[in-house]
């Protein structure tokens, strides 16, 4: 398969490039380095089946030759960037999705959208299945991301209905691991860096809000199964290992044997109180289930960040 990955120099996009190269695909990786990094793909640059194009996918996209699949992962993803990059996020979710879908029609390629659990907003049902329609504040700080992804899903389904584009929509729940930026701002990298540097771990609010954290290796395997499936409706991908943010902070302090303490900080606006994926659909239709628990996944991530800090 000849595959275009937008956002391919990001955390998930670079790992997906690794997996698809292993599977024998030819990869065209497109990224403008807004939140991604050259280091993530440096090891791939000499590969005969890997090509990198630095480009902003909110503009018209031209790719030479045929394409079998377009994986649209481009978008900032950390809540720490929602104010700073609000317009970029809306543009890549709306214009970027439009351009990549237009390219899919032109190339008769299949299309996969990296959507998010944020389409459920601050959920009023728990756990969240794909049928839940969500509880999103369109004008809040998180609205730029939530609404961009909701629009992207709507656009994807419109292309499916109007042009017959063969689409996939992955609703990705909190995924962490090696290659996240030290200053990414999301809870797992923040806590690990703070613990390794002996700084206080910044827990927002009372820390009783929950997330369900998935190691990237499981998530990437799920995306691959979804690509190969014929499921055109949204599928939740995540690890249903729910944990409060206070417990996560304590766990990371223990695993790093850090002397750090907890420092409580103000809870950001509209921060979801709970989040837990119902993955029955992925289990049955994709034959996928996450295998890496938090102990193993966090252990691997901590070891990686330690090595990064020693560089």
Closest CA to 291 of 218, 220, 201, 226: 218
Nearest-approach distance from CB 75 to ligand UDP, in angstroms: 13
200 near ligand UDP, rule: CB under 6 A: no
Token pair in block for residue 205: 């609010």
Query: Can you tell me which of 187, 220, 235, 292 binds ligand UDP, judged by CB under 6 A?
Result: 187
**Residue 190 partner contact from ligand UDP, ligand NAD, none using kind-dependent CB cut-offs of 5 to 8 Å:** ligand UDP
**Cα–chain center distance at 21:** 19
Residue tagged active-site, from 60, 120, 132, 145: 145
Listed in sequence order, the residues at least 6 apart from 113 whose beta carbon sits closer than 8 Å to its beta carbon are 72, 97, 152, 153, 156, 167, 168, 169, 170
* Binding segment toward ligand UDP, per CB under 6 A, in 152-160, 199-207, 220-228, 231-239: 199-207
282 near ligand UDP, rule: CB under 6 A: no
Query: Can you tell me which of 79, 234, 290, 297 binds ligand UDP, judged by CB under 6 A?
Result: 79
b/e code 176-207 from CB counts within 10 Å (16+ = b)? bbbbbbeebbbbbbbbbbbbbeeeebebbeeb
CA distances from 232 to 112, 118, 164, 237, 272 (A): 9, 19, 11, 14, 27
190 near ligand NAD, rule: CB under 6 A: no
Query: Can you tell me which of 134, 140, 268, 299 binds ligand UDP, judged by CB under 6 A?
Result: 268
Query: Can you tell me which of 3, 4, 5, 11 binds ligand NAD, judged by CB under 6 A?
Result: 11
Q: By CB under 6 A, how many residues form the interface with ligand UDP?
A: 13
Listed in sequence order, the residues at least 6 apart from 250 whose beta carbon sits closer than 8 Å to its beta carbon are 262
Tell me the per-residue interface mask from 210 to 249 with ligand UDP, x by CB under 6 A, - otherwise.
Answer: -x---------------------------------x----
Site of tokens 């929509």: 169
Question: In angstroms, rounded to a whole number, what is the distance separating the alpha carbons of residues 81 and 141?
Answer: 10
Question: In angstroms, rounded to a whole number, what is the distance separating the alpha carbons of residues 22 and 40?
Answer: 16
* Pair 149, 43: CB distance under 8 Å: no
Residue 195 or 237: the one with the smaller Cβ distance to ligand NAD is: 237
**Residue 136 partner contact from ligand NAD, ligand UDP, none using kind-dependent CB cut-offs of 5 to 8 Å:** none
* Pair 167, 160: CB distance under 8 Å: yes
* Pair 70, 6: CB distance under 8 Å: yes
Question: In angstroms, rounded to a whole number, what is the distance separating the alpha carbons of residues 112 and 9?
Answer: 17
Nearest-approach distance from CB 231 to ligand NAD, in angstroms: 18
**Residue 297 partner contact from ligand UDP, ligand NAD, none using kind-dependent CB cut-offs of 5 to 8 Å:** none
Burial class of 144 by CB neighbour count within 10 A (0 to 12, 13 to 18, 19+):
buried
**Residue 92 partner contact from ligand NAD, ligand UDP, none using kind-dependent CB cut-offs of 5 to 8 Å:** ligand NAD
* Pair 252, 125: CB distance under 8 Å: no
**Residue 6 partner contact from ligand UDP, ligand NAD, none using kind-dependent CB cut-offs of 5 to 8 Å:** ligand NAD
Residue 12 or 298: the one with the smaller Cβ distance to ligand NAD is: 12
145 among known catalytic residues: yes
Tell me the per-residue interface mask from 119 to 158 with ligand NAD, x by CB under 6 A, - otherwise.
Answer: ----------------------------------------
Instruction: Give the footprint of ligand NAD on this chain (CB under 6 A).
Output: 6-7, 9-13, 31-36, 56-58, 73-77, 92, 96, 114, 116, 172, 174-175
Q: So which residues are the catalytic ones? A: 145
């Amino acid at each position: 398969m000849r595959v275009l990955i937008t956002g391919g120099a990001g955390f998930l996009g670079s790992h997906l490039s690794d997996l698809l190269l292993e599977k024998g695909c030819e990869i065209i990786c497109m990224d403008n380095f807004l939140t991604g990094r050259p280091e993530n793909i440096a090891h791939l640059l000499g590969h005969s089946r890997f090509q990198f194009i630095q480009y902003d996918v909110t503009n018209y996209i031209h790719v030479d030759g045929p394409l079998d699949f377009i994986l649209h992962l481009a978008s900032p993803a950390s809540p720490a960037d929602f104010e700073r990059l609000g317009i970029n996020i809306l543009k890549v979710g709306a214009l970027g999705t439009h351009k990549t879908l237009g390219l899919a029609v032109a190339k008769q390629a299949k299309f996969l959208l990296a959507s998010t659990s944020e389409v459920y907003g601050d959920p009023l049902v728990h756990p969240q299945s794909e049928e839940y329609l969500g509880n999103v504040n369109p004008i809040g700080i998180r609205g730029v991301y939530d609404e961009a992804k909701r629009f992207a899903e709507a656009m994807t389904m419109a292309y499916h209905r109007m042009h017959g584009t063969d689409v996939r929509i992955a609703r990705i729940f909190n995924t962490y691991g090696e290659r996240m930026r030290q200053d990414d701002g999301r809870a797992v990298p923040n806590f690990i860096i703070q613990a390794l540097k002996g700084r206080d771990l910044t827990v927002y609010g009372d820390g009783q809000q929950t997330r369900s954290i998935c190691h990237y290796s499981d998530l990437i395997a799920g995306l691959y199964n979804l690509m190969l499936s014929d499921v055109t409706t949204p599928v939740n991908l995540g690890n249903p290992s729910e944990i409060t943010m206070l417990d996560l902070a304590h766990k990371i302090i223990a695993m790093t044997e850090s002397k750090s303490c907890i420092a409580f900080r103000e809870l950001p606006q509209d921060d979801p109180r709970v989040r837990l994926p119902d993955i029955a659909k992925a289990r049955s239709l994709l034959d996928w289930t996450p295998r890496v628990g938090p102990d193993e996944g966090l252990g691997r991530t901590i070891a990686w960040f330690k090595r990064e800090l020693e560089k």
